[in-house]
Amino acid sequence: MPLPKKSTKTRLIKAALDLFAERGVTETTTKAVAERAQVNEVTLFRHFGNKHGLLLAVMEDSAVFAKLGQALLEQADPKVSVSQALKDYAEISLQALDRVPKLVRSVVGEAGQYPLENRLALGQGLTQANNHVAKHLAEVIAGVGWQSRFPTEKLASFLNSLLLGYFIIKSTSEGDELWEGQDDFLESLVELFLHGAIEPPMETNAIPRKKIVLDQVVDLPANLVRDILQRAKKLGRQDYALAYLLFGAGLSVKEIVNLKRSHLITEHNQHLLQIDSDTKRQVLLNKWIMGFRYGSSSSNPATQWLKSRKDNQPEMFITQEEKSMSEQELLASWQVLTEGFVLPNGQTPTIEQARQTWCVEMLMKGIKLEDLGILSGLAVEELQPYAQRAREKLAIEQAGLLDQKKSKSS
């Protein structure tokens, strides 16, 4: 039987991907793409509008960067050492990039000239790659009993950034004498991760390592938090409850996916959460978040979600198949909640920033650092950057009040 004929749109995307890889985005014309796909150039415009629209379709369809994470899945063998898994993944990733060097250089080098939707598509592709790698990186590390000193999402982003940066430098410049070759770079990369980012299980008589303290806190603006919560409310009760716990209780990803229905406690006209993680504690669910009220003494997004449930699953958050929600699925929900939102620095909000935002807001409301440590499960030294950020925001507020008084007296 003859093979089914590919659609015009599919042929155009395939032709564009091939030409972008051969010539780069700038040197590829819509006419050349149309000729390669054996269609009229008008047909290309009818489907995609212009070359940037075509590039957007190529990014979404091919997911060049997002597919790199599959390499680590193939290395997630408990018999393979962490160092070997990292090196194998790095080699496979660089080989994948090396197959389309012009496309990578062109997409990265010209990204500043793209419309916002193209930059968002590129960012989403990189985020997908990081999330995919984070999941399997966690499996590799846990499989040998090691642990990461950072959230695996950040670890994956750091790893991919180093690989992409090395590839860009290697493929665009000559005479770099820092590395003797790719093997030298990979060995240094693995060494950096093994001795700086991940660590073996601590021996019983070993001296505990000092906890990592954040150098900088990037909390989210109040209007963005409001937009995320409003979008969550429109998406459904579970999404609304998830966003509410992120910003109203400051929980980590691991803590949220481990919540049970029974962990929600109502007493003395307030709602509490029992957290059974490494730091067992109770956390109050805030009624007010960044100037807006989301709950009352009898009801809030979390209680409304649980009351609407018809299943018998003990987990607080579940999938559509009524199974316990995984960390990866929670991260996917966060992507939906924040899709299209961009911070002043041009980056998309990360789920860790929800907890940072909660910590900063609690300090601005006047809670003591030691008490916040009890609620958050974080050590006081880990909370110092949050205290600094809270002081910065309070200083700005104070300056604003003084400016208003000056305006009234003038």
Which pLDDT score is estimated for 206?
45
What's the whole-number average pLDDT of the chain?
81
* Contact present, 145 and 198 (Cβ < 8 Å): no
CATH superfamily of 8-62: Homeodomain-like (1.10.10.60)
- The helix (H) or strand (E) run that includes residue 363 is helix 352-364
More confident call, 190 vs 365: 365
Task: Provide the β-strand partners of residue 318.
Answer: 324
Which pLDDT score is estimated for 75?
46
* Cα separation values, 123 from 16, 110, 119, Å: 20, 14, 6
Q: Note the pLDDT tens digit of each residue in 183-205.
A: 888 888 888 877 777 666 554 44
User: Residue 352: is its pLDDT beyond 70?
Assistant: yes
User: Residue 33: is its pLDDT beyond 90?
Assistant: yes
Q: Note the pLDDT tens digit of each residue in 135-171.
A: 777 777 776 667 777 777 787 788 878 888 888 887 7
* Contact present, 311 and 303 (Cβ < 8 Å): no
Which pLDDT score is estimated for 265?
92
> Rounded mean pLDDT of 392-400?
88
> Rounded mean pLDDT of 318-346?
90
Which pLDDT score is estimated for 89?
77
Specify the range with the lowest mean pLDDT, choosing from 90-94, 246-250, 367-371: 90-94
Which pLDDT score is estimated for 177?
63
CA separation for the pair 42, 30 (Å, rounded): 10
> Rounded mean pLDDT of 227-241?
95
More confident call, 358 vs 379: 358
More confident call, 298 vs 4: 298
User: Residue 374: is its pLDDT beyond 80?
Assistant: yes
> Rounded mean pLDDT of 336-350?
89
**E-assigned strand segments in 141-238:** 147-148, 198-199
User: Residue 341: is its pLDDT beyond 60?
Assistant: yes
The one-letter amino acid code at 384 reads Q
The separation between the first and the last C-alpha atoms of the chain, rounded to the nearest angstrom, is 86
User: Residue 106: is its pLDDT beyond 80?
Assistant: no
- The helix (H) or strand (E) run that includes residue 307 is helix 301-308
Structure confidence at residue 1 as a pLDDT band (50, 70, 90): very low
Q: Percentage of the chain surpassing pLDDT 70?
A: 78
Highest mean pLDDT out of 12-26, 69-83, 203-217, 389-403: 389-403
Q: Percentage of the chain surpassing pLDDT 90?
A: 36
* Contact present, 179 and 236 (Cβ < 8 Å): no
CA separation for the pair 236, 326 (Å, rounded): 18
CA separation for the pair 245, 223 (Å, rounded): 18
> Rounded mean pLDDT of 290-305?
91
Phi, psi of 64 (to 5 degrees): -55, -50
pTM listed for this prediction = 0.51
CATH superfamily of 222-400: Intergrase catalytic core (1.10.443.10)
Structure confidence at residue 41 as a pLDDT band (50, 70, 90): very high
Which pLDDT score is estimated for 176?
63
Return all residues near 182 (Cβ < 8 A) that are at least 6 apart. 94, 170
User: Residue 128: is its pLDDT beyond 50?
Assistant: yes
CA separation for the pair 72, 88 (Å, rounded): 8
Structure confidence at residue 110 as a pLDDT band (50, 70, 90): low
User: Residue 273: is its pLDDT beyond 90?
Assistant: yes
Structure confidence at residue 407 as a pLDDT band (50, 70, 90): low
